Every structure is written in structure tokens, then in C-alpha cells.
Amino acid sequence: MTYCVGLRMKRGLVFMSDTRTNAGVDNISTFRKMHTWCVPGERLVTLMTAGNLATTQAVISVLEERSKAQGERNPSILEQPSMFQVARLVGETLREVISERSTQGQAADSAFGATIIVGGQIDPGPPRLFLIYPEGNFIEASEDTPFFQIGETKYGRPMLLRGFSEDLTFPDAIKLLLVSFDSTLKANLSVGMPFDLQTYVADSFEIGHEDRITRDNPYYNEISEGWGRALREALGQLPPYDMG
Amino acid sequence: MTYCVGLRMKRGLVFMSDTRTNAGVDNISTFRKMHTWCVPGERLVTLMTAGNLATTQAVISVLEERSKAQGERNPSILEQPSMFQVARLVGETLREVISERSTQGQAADSAFGATIIVGGQIDPGPPRLFLIYPEGNFIEASEDTPFFQIGETKYGRPMLLRGFSEDLTFPDAIKLLLVSFDSTLKANLSVGMPFDLQTYVADSFEIGHEDRITRDNPYYNEISEGWGRALREALGQLPPYDMG
């Protein structure tokens, strides 16, 4: 499985993804699930992928035009005039890759499906965040739903629902994401470290802060241990049930 | 869907279940999912069910011997010499009900599956807690895994993992369960109030505390609101990420 979250805040966007891929619990690998295209001063587009690895790698390769010789590549994502057009391009590419695999050749036991979060900003538009479905259609984050999760979304959702606000600062948003990722990691073996992190400051048109958070990251360990303690303290503050 | 949790603590057992059943979001009802057989001084057995409602109702009816006339009923659960035999009886009954429906008559789109938590104590054995699968086999709660969840288990699991201990008092255990149920309720429409609650004090061989927690229960509302606040405070206590 996978766990990726994209947040849309007033200050900009935050992306976090795990790196575990697996075909059964005895066949795991580490792959980057976050991919960025950037023309400084003009556009930044970041994609996070969940689902069949062959599908998501094929989508990235097609978007990168890896079928062409090195010198002739001109990723079409860099030619789209708006984030909406980027989302449409990614959705169409995803749908094509899946339908090629589903209708040709051997049938597979598992689906070739994948889901993608794509976010960024293209001058002169605002920062936008989209969730793209395997069918190629997509939805956009709004004030009511200002973040998207893909993959193993359930374990880490309650704290996002309670803790997220569009007014968060980047450091607080990253802390919230780490708490959400830590809960997911503890409950599902197919979500694994390291985590990739990227921030995008609105109207900067360049990559913000980037980090790869590994198992020995002291801040992550502080959050992971501190969160268990803080949670128990929070429980302790609430009044016990009155058994009458 | 459904959400039921059974806790095994040193002081005894706690059971909590929601009451929503649904066939699509436009077809919901309220059904009790917690059923108890008790012979004071000798045995208490409590069952909680998740899955196909026709299946789980049939299992309860067979266990209750509702096919017999009112006066001749003698639920076989009351004749089992141990909780292990109760678990076996429930597992066999569940498997039979499912296989009858699966192999006869019209095929259905959805499965007839169900999962059951059964717990209690039969003199002179200790209190025991089992999770019974649709195939009829089962596992028992142990020191390493002292609680079971069925139905929509994921949203409410992180706080159970962090907050549960076998040394909890009943009032604290009920508080923890309400926090877990509240998070699940907020994320999945097919889990709904009221919640049924029952405690069993080890070696009491009688029903402990029973309650039906409705939406206007002041304690539940205090926990639901207080938990959001406490969670945000807990987050606030942790240090923010250092963006360097």
C-alpha cells in the first residue's frame, strides 16, 4: 500500500509520501512516490502516486516523455497553461495507461489501478490541489475539503480532521502530517519509511523545503514518542465515565 | 457497516457496539448488535456481530433455538462447559448459516459474511474474549492483543493502540472506547448512534453496567468536544518541525 497526503493551506502546499511498495508482505521495496516539475519563476507541479507501481511509473515516464531521446524531451506538463490543464493531462495519461494494460495481454489477478494527488501553481493562477481517480476524472481541494489522502487513508484521518486548519504554519502542518503518518505506520506494515516531504510557498514558483525523513530522524522519533505520551495525557484530561 | 470493540482487562471485560445497519446510504436502520446470555452465578456470554444482518440475525436465532416453541427453548450456549466450547458453537453456527445462504437459491451481489466477537466467563474458567471469522474458526485475545475490533476498525484503532492497557479501570476504558467510537462516527456514515455498552466484572457471573448512549447523552458530547480540544492541545505541546 501507500500513504500520501497533500495539504492546501493559505501559506501554500505541503506534500508528504511514504516510500514502501509491496507485492505481498515478503516482497517489499523502496520507491519514490513524489515527483516534481519546476520552472523557477513560472510553475511548480508535484505529483504523488498510490496504486500499481508499474502503472504509476508508466504515467510518470509518459509525462516525462521518456520515449524520446534525452535531448528531445519536453515534458508536456511544462506546456500546460493552468493547473486545471495539468490535472486533465495527468488524468488522461493515467486512464490511457490503465486501459492499455487492462485490455491487452494476460489478465492479472490484481487491478492496475492507481490514484494520484497533483498540486502546484502556474503563473498567474493560484496554488491548486487535485485528486485524480483511476478513471481519469478528478476533484479539486476546496475550503470544505482542504486536503487529500491516497492509499491507506483511514488510520491517519482522525487527527487530520481534528488538527488541520488552512491557517497552519508550515512547521505545524509538517508536525501534524508526521503524527498522521506515524499512526498509519504503526497500524499497516505496507506503509514504510523513509517519508518524502516537500513544501511549496504560495506565489514562490520554486520548490520550498525538501526533506527525506528516515527512521533515525531525531525529530520524527521525538514526535512518535511524544505523541503517545501527549495522547494519553489528553485522555487523562477528559472526565471518566460515571458508572452511577 | 458496523463498529464493535471488546476489551479484555484485568478487572473484566467491556463491550461496545454501534447500532447502524445499512444497505446503501439511503437505506439505514437501527438494530441491536449486542446479545447476552446469563445464568447468574454460573455464566455470562456476550456476542457482538458485524456483517450481513440476515446472517447475524439468523445466527442469534439459531443460538436461541427460536425454531422451537417458546417453552421448549434451551439455548445451547447455556449448556457449553467452557468459553472455548461457546466460541466453537458460535463459529460452527456462523459457518453453517453462511454456507446455506451461499450455496442455495439466488446468488447475491454482496457476500453473506459476518464476524463476531464473543466474550464472557463460565464458572470455573477465567473471563475470555474471542474473535470469530466467517469461516467459523476463531482467535482468542491474549496479553499481546488484549482487544478485538470488528466492522470499520481503522479510524478508531490508533487511539486504542496508544491508550489501552490491561490495567485500565472501567470508567477509563469506557472513556477510551467513546473516543475511538467518536472518531469512527466522524469518518464513516455507516457507523451510527446510539451505542450499546456493557461491562463485565471478572468472577461476578452477572451483567455489570449496561447503558445505551444516545446522541443527546451529555457525557458523550463532553468527550466528543473535549477530545477535539485535547487533541489540538496535545499537538501544540509537541515541538514544531525545524525548517532549518
Q: What is the pLDDT of residue B49?
A: 97
Beta bridge partners of A148: A6
Residue A10 corresponds to which cell in the numbers above?
493559505
DSSP B135: T
Chain B residues near residue A159 by CB distance under 8 angstroms: 158, 231, 235
For chain B, the domains span 3-237
- At A104 the pLDDT is 60
How much is the pLDDT for B101?
77
| pLDDT on residue B75 | 78
Q: Is A160 on the interface with B (CB under 8 A)?
A: no
Identify the band that residue B242 occupies on the pLDDT scale cut at 50, 70 and 90: very high
Place A16 in a pLDDT band, splitting at 50, 70 and 90: very high
Q: Provide the grid cell at B230.
A: 485535547
- The confidence band for B110, taking pLDDT boundaries of 50, 70 and 90, is low
pLDDT of residue A107: 61
Residues of chain A contacting residue B169, judged by C-beta atoms under 8 Å apart: 240
pLDDT value of residue A1:
83
Provide the pLDDT confidence category of residue B104 given band limits of 50, 70 and 90.
low
Give the span between the Cα atoms of A160 and A142, in whole angstroms: 15
What is the least distance, in Å, from the CA of A184 to any CA of chain B?
Answer: 8
3-class DSSP assignment, residue A82: coil
For residue A174, give how far its alpha carbon lies from the nearest alpha carbon of chain B (Å): 6
Virtual torsion, Cα A6, A7, A13, A16, nearest 10 deg: -40
Domain B3-237, CATH number (from 3.40.50.2300, 3.10.20.30, 3.90.105.10, 3.60.20.10) = 3.60.20.10
Is A90 within 8 Å of A135 (Cβ atoms)?
Answer: no
- Contact indicator for B30, B94 with CB cutoff of 8 Å: no
Confidence (pLDDT) at B244: 79
* Confidence (pLDDT) at A101: 77
Specify the 3-state DSSP secondary structure of A231. Answer: helix
Judge whether A45 and A64 are in contact, CB under 8 Å: no
Distance CA A125, CA B90 (A): 61
| pLDDT of A109 | 55
CA–CA separation, A92 and A134 (whole Å): 9
Quote the pLDDT of residue B90. Answer: 96
Average pLDDT over residues B140-162: 94
pLDDT digits (tens, 9 = 90+) for B17-33: 999 988 888 888 889 99
Which residues of chain A are within 8 Å of residue B11 when distances are taken between CB atoms? none
Give the nearest partner residue to A241 out of B154, B159, B175, using CB atoms.
B175
- Min Cα distance A161 → chain B (Å) is 9
Nearest-angstrom CA–CA distance, A168 and A172: 6
Q: Chain A: nearest CA to B88, how far in angstroms?
A: 29
Given a cut of 70, is residue A106 above it in pLDDT? Answer: no
- Select A3-236's CATH number: 3.60.20.10, 3.30.1280.10, 1.10.287.130, 3.30.420.40: 3.60.20.10
Among residues B81, B178, B180, B66, the alpha carbon closest in space to that of B121 is found at: B81
Q: State residue B24's pLDDT score.
A: 81
Q: Does B240 touch chain A (CB under 8 A)?
A: yes
Q: Name A118's bridge partners.
A: A47, A130
Q: Tens digit of pLDDT for each residue in B158-210? A: 999 999 999 999 999 999 999 999 999 988 888 999 999 999 999 999 999 99
Residue A156: is its pLDDT beyond 60? yes
Our measurement of the distance from residue B180's CA atom to the centroid of its chain's CA atoms, rounded to an integer in Å, reads 13
Beta bridge partners of B34: B48
pLDDT for residue B176: 97
Cell numbers 482522525 correspond to A158
Q: What is the mean pLDDT of chain A?
A: 92
Q: Is the pLDDT of residue B106 over 70?
A: no
Instruction: Using alpha carbons only, give the angle A92, A93, A96 rounded to the nearest 5 degrees.
Output: 85
Burial of A201 (0-12, 13-18, 19+ CB in 10 A): middle
Show contacts of B201-205: CB within 8 Å, 24+ apart.
B201/B11, B201/B12, B201/B170, B202/B10, B202/B11, B202/B12, B202/B13, B202/B121, B202/B126, B202/B127, B203/B121, B203/B127, B204/B12, B204/B44, B205/B38, B205/B39, B205/B40, B205/B41, B205/B42, B205/B43, B205/B44, B205/B121, B205/B123
What is the reported pLDDT for A89? 95
Confidence tier at B109 by pLDDT (50, 70, 90): low
Residue with cell 467491556: B14
- CA-to-CA distance for A98 and A94, rounded, in angstroms? 6
What is the pLDDT, as a whole number, of residue B27? 84
- Establish whether this prediction's ipTM goes over 0.90: no
Contact predicate B34/B15, CB 8 Å: yes
Mean of the per-residue pLDDT values for chain B?
A: 92
Closest of A179, A100, A165 to residue A136, by C-alpha: A100
